[in-house]
Amino acid sequence: MNTITNFWNYFQQNNFVFLFLNEVSQEEMKFHFYKLKEELYRYNKNLDLIIKNKKNEAELIITAHGNPYLFKEVELLAFYAPKIKRWKITAFLQPEKDLDKYENGTDKPFKFYGINIKVSDSYFILLGNPEKPIDLGIKVLLKNYVVYKNNPKLTEAVYIIIEHFIGEKSFANDLKFIEINQLHQINTDHLKLHHLKLYINDER
């Protein structure tokens, strides 16, 4: 419990630094992020955090990056979160709700270690497993797969995108296998990648 208490004490004492990130120096911001992550890693070195800022309010997300063996650790840490004005504390990455920019193709490419993927141009098809017919698998089809297929970070980048749209728990529980390949032409069995959550919800 000490590591949980220490984490929340540090965050509570320095929450204004994280709330107004654009108003503090880069050095101060880096220092406090480092200290906060240091406290988090004392609790569990495999967890991570994400801060999303809006006008006069922000959200702290605690994530296990889809590792189901760490879900209880995330839930425990979030359970003991103090109530802090202007802050929302969230356990796990939640599904993206505002899909308008993906629907109309105005989304900016997702960038990750030199990889650029435009989600609105990405699709998936369903994959079956004859031995386990109830398992859901997908093949993600990218316009620029051939450019990045040898990049060791490509799989991680695609996993992060999928988590963003279906949520961390669904990523761990609903998808059993994922493949990645080149998009050649759009066929009737191709579904928009950002519609994956809608498909999963319909199948439940």
Q: Which of 91, 123, 146 is the last residue of a domain?
A: 91
Same domain, 124 and 178: yes
Q: Which of 91, 113, 148 is the last residue of a domain?
A: 91
Q: What does the H/E/C string look like for 119-149?
A: HHHCEEEEECCCCCCCCEEEEEEECCHHHHC
Hey, what are 51's tokens? 């801060």
Same domain, 68 and 124: no
- Please name the amino acid found at residue 200: I
Per-residue pLDDT, 6: 96
Q: Could you tell me the residue range of the domain that residue 159 belongs to?
A: 100-203
User: Is-contact 39 6, C-beta < 8 A?
Assistant: yes
Same domain, 160 and 179: yes
Per-residue pLDDT tens over the stretch 63-121: 998 899 999 999 999 999 999 999 999 999 999 989 999 999 999 999 999 999 999 99
What is the crossing angle of helices 2-13 and 26-43, to 10°? Answer: 160
Same domain, 113 and 196: yes
Residuewise pLDDT in 10s, the chain (204 residues): 799 999 999 999 999 999 887 788 888 889 999 999 999 999 999 999 999 888 789 999 999 988 999 999 999 999 999 999 999 999 999 999 899 999 999 999 999 999 999 999 999 999 977 777 788 899 999 999 999 999 999 999 999 999 999 999 999 999 999 999 999 999 999 999 999 999 888 765
User: Is-contact 99 130, C-beta < 8 A?
Assistant: no
